Homo-oligomer: A and B are copies of this chain.
Amino acid sequence: MHKLQDVQNSPSDLAVDIDRVGIKEFRLPLVVRDRDAGLQHTVATVDLGVDLPAAFKGTHMSRFVEALEAWREQAPESPVPALDYRSMRGLLESVRLRLDARRAYVKFRFPYFRAKAAPATGSAAPVAYDCTMTGELTEGEHPVFTLEADVPVTTVCPCSKAISRAGAHGQRALVKLTLRMTKFEWLEEFIDIAESSGSAQVYSLLKRQDEKLVTEQAYDDACFVEDVVRRVAEKMNAHPHVSWFRVEVESFESIHCHNAFAVIERDRKPHRA
């Protein structure tokens, strides 16, 4: 076959280092390790990137897709890649080598499902959590992994409850938890932390007995976004393997058309009052 010009390998017009270059919004089926079921099928949106030194005009974009495809085929137990820390490390190393780079970056965003039982009847149905797993690898260094999970909860307003004759406004809220750890923990553990920190949990299937229980539980434990963010932060601060975290709680206020939010970010050493 006629040899085609490799424009990317030609010298750069402007000698400026590029921090990260690659592809975004690549969608593919994905299998994720799952504490309860072993493996879980989902779909992911993937970003892949590397650094590019000042000397080179361009990176080779097709190699990112080739790295992903080769990684899929290495997973013999399923037709699609099983995402966990070990396999992600392999993908990062493969991207770095194929692209001849010093640093590699991979981000997977995917809905993660758990069968969740209603609190009174035990009726179960899946709940979806939007999760993100990001890895960065610099040559000769340990990879850095960041985990994110968006966990819905319900909140009841303590002010509304205190001042009103009856009732209190409540709403769906989202706990957005981002973290780094020093030792592996299942995603489920952090979802549990977030879910147990609102006025009540959110479910996919509730029968009347369940609805009664959740309503009363939420009313009895009215809490602001400030309370929820502190509860999550307290548990993350106490966790033996969390080295860094950021938690944001955003509530879709039912009496307003804007939202309320609260954020706490902490490095490994807890900054407590």
Complex interface bits, A55-94 against B, C-beta within 8 A gives 1, otherwise 0: 1011101100110110000000001100000000000000
- Alpha-carbon gap, A13 to B168, bound state (A): 20
- Alpha-carbon gap, A79 to B169, bound state (A): 33
Enumerate chain B residues within 8 angstroms of A24, measured Cβ to Cβ.
250, 258-261
CB contact list, A158-216 vs B, under 8 A: 158-172, 200, 202-209, 211-212, 214-216
From B41, B164, B219, A212 is in contact (CB under 8 Å) with B164
Quick check: B123 and A66 within 8 Å, CB to CB?
yes
Quick check: A8 and B202 within 8 Å, CB to CB?
no
Quick check: A264 and B159 within 8 Å, CB to CB?
no
- Alpha-carbon gap, A16 to B254, bound state (A): 26
Quick check: A111 and B27 within 8 Å, CB to CB?
yes
- Alpha-carbon gap, A79 to B207, bound state (A): 24
- Alpha-carbon gap, A166 to B218, bound state (A): 10
| Dominant secondary structure at the A interface | mixed
CB contact list, A125-168 vs B, under 8 A: 125-128, 152, 154-168
- Alpha-carbon gap, A167 to B154, bound state (A): 13
Quick check: B255 and A206 within 8 Å, CB to CB?
yes
From B16, B28, B216, A234 is in contact (CB under 8 Å) with B16
Closest chain B residue, CB of each to CB of A42? B43
From B16, B127, B202, B257, A272 is in contact (CB under 8 Å) with B16
Quick check: B4 and A208 within 8 Å, CB to CB?
yes
* Interface size range of chain A in the complex: 35 or more
Say how far A210's CB is from chain B's closest CB, in angstroms.
9
- Alpha-carbon gap, A58 to B162, bound state (A): 14
Enumerate chain B residues within 8 angstroms of A160, measured Cβ to Cβ.
211-212, 215
Closest chain B residue, CB of each to CB of A152? B257
- Alpha-carbon gap, A121 to B229, bound state (A): 31
From B13, B26, B218, B234, A14 is in contact (CB under 8 Å) with B234
Given contacts A28-B126, A68-B125, contact A257 B202 (CB under 8 A): yes
Given contacts A156-B167, A170-B171, A215-B169, contact A224 B254 (CB under 8 A): no
Interface, chain A (partner B; CB < 8 A): 1, 4-8, 12-29, 37, 40-43, 47, 49, 52-55, 57-59, 61-62, 65-66, 68-69, 79-80, 111, 113, 123-128, 152, 154-172, 200, 202-209, 211-212, 214-216, 218-220, 224-227, 229-231, 233-234, 237, 250, 252-265, 271-273
A-B pairs, top 10 by smallest CB distance, nearest first, are: A167-B219, A54-B273, A41-B41, A27-B128, A21-B262, A164-B215, A26-B258, A14-B230, A15-B273, A7-B159
